[in-house]
Amino acid sequence: MAQTVNDFGKKEILPNVKKEEFNRQLVSMMGSLGFFGCAFPAGFGGSDLGFLSHSIVCEMVSTYDSGLRSLFNLQGLTVPYTMVEWGNDIVRRKYVKALVAAEKLGCTCFSEPNAGSDISAVETEVVDKGDHYLINGTKTWISNGTVADYAVIYCSFDRSLKHRGLCAIVVETDQPGWQAQEIPKLGDKSSPIAEVFLEDVRAPKDNLLGEWGAGFKVAMTALDRGRISVASGALGICQACLNASVEYANKRVQFGQPIRNYQMVKHIIADMVTYTEAARLLVRWAAWLNDQGRPFTREIAIAKYFAGEAAVRAAGWAMEIHGGMGYSLDLPVEKYYRDSKLYQIGEGTANMMRLIIGDDSLGIKKANRPRLKVPEDFRDLS
């Protein structure tokens, strides 16, 4: 799989990376090659290689273009995997395989104008109409929002209940009440992000994930797993910065010799290597724990926090190594610099990860509680 990803990156991703635009055909090719199916059984078009393999594939793709990283969330984890864990058999069979193969595209709708890190504050309203659900509200910073066919919407039936009033519901976007508007952003431009307006959006009763009012549990499992791909994407940025810096330091000549001979350049390269390798071990340890069915909320918070910080540092160091050329649009370093900042924000900000880690360490709130009981019978489906 790693060799397949590497070959694909060189042949298909690199020639198009400077365009910095969403490429539906490229996404379809990634799906057909099984890039999004590592964590899924064969019955859903997956390879059943696990979350560690998912992490490695995601990292490698991100090394070529970090903008494609979000697809590993949306086509592999926070949309279809959430469906197989919390959805009924109708949802699983109707949506999952098409998402894993990227025949259809998905999005997850957490954030709102007034609700980000505090998911219990969502204002999007769901009403049980007897034979269907009706959803109204606004979501923002929704990756794939303008191109998604299916969405997992987190909404509340009673805001006074806070997290106990949350529901997670699968919605098909091909209906008049779904309106998405793309948001211009600094980096990751090959992944569209949008503000989504929901006006009397309908969903059948079968599309509820988990139980009525249990959306917070669904969200927590989705976020933990989503952080595997986010941390892996940050790691890809680190490796890309390191690769570019080593290549440039070896060929750039100043004062009659390659700049690799200068002590400060060696120091920067050493720091980049150390941060990258440390991040890699943290990320893969968390993914492995998930494969073992063990709690990993603490470990993925540490990995996501450190890998995000490492990505920003590595991008800054790469700019230093490249000097004026790092500021040029002719080399990819400026793109790494723009893309890196997202990893301190997405799928839980750096400060939120600090809170999880700090609360756990101080005995205020234990991060690794017993794993939420989710159905596993989907692995027997063929």
pLDDT in tens, 134-183: 999 999 999 999 999 999 999 999 999 999 999 999 999 999 999 999 99
Let me know whether 223 and 365 are in one domain.
yes
Residue span of the structural domain in which 201 resides = 106-213
Let me know whether 260 and 145 are in one domain.
no
Let me know whether 115 and 204 are in one domain.
yes
- Provide φ and ψ at 193, rounded to 5°: -130, 145
Residue written as tokens 């990893």? 343
Q: Determine the pLDDT at residue 176.
A: 93
Q: Determine the pLDDT at residue 336.
A: 97
Take residue 326 and report the two structure tokens written for it. Answer: 């790092």
Q: How confident is the model at residue 116 (pLDDT cuts 50, 70, 90)?
A: confident
211-243 tens-digit pLDDT: 999 999 999 999 999 999 999 999 999 999 999
Residues marked as catalytic: 347
Q: Determine the pLDDT at residue 369.
A: 78
Mean pLDDT of the chain: 94
Let me know whether 296 and 371 are in one domain.
yes
Q: Determine the pLDDT at residue 371.
A: 57
- Provide φ and ψ at 56, rounded to 5°: -65, -45
Number of domains within the chain: 3
Let me know whether 173 and 141 are in one domain.
yes
Q: Give the residue from 213, 240, 262 where a domain finishes.
A: 213
Q: How confident is the model at residue 7 (pLDDT cuts 50, 70, 90)?
A: very high
Has residue 18 got a pLDDT over 60? yes
Let me know whether 57 and 78 are in one domain.
yes
Sign of CA dihedral 258, 262, 266, 268: negative
Q: Determine the pLDDT at residue 382.
A: 41
CATH of the domain at 30: 1.10.540.10
Let me know whether 373 and 233 are in one domain.
yes
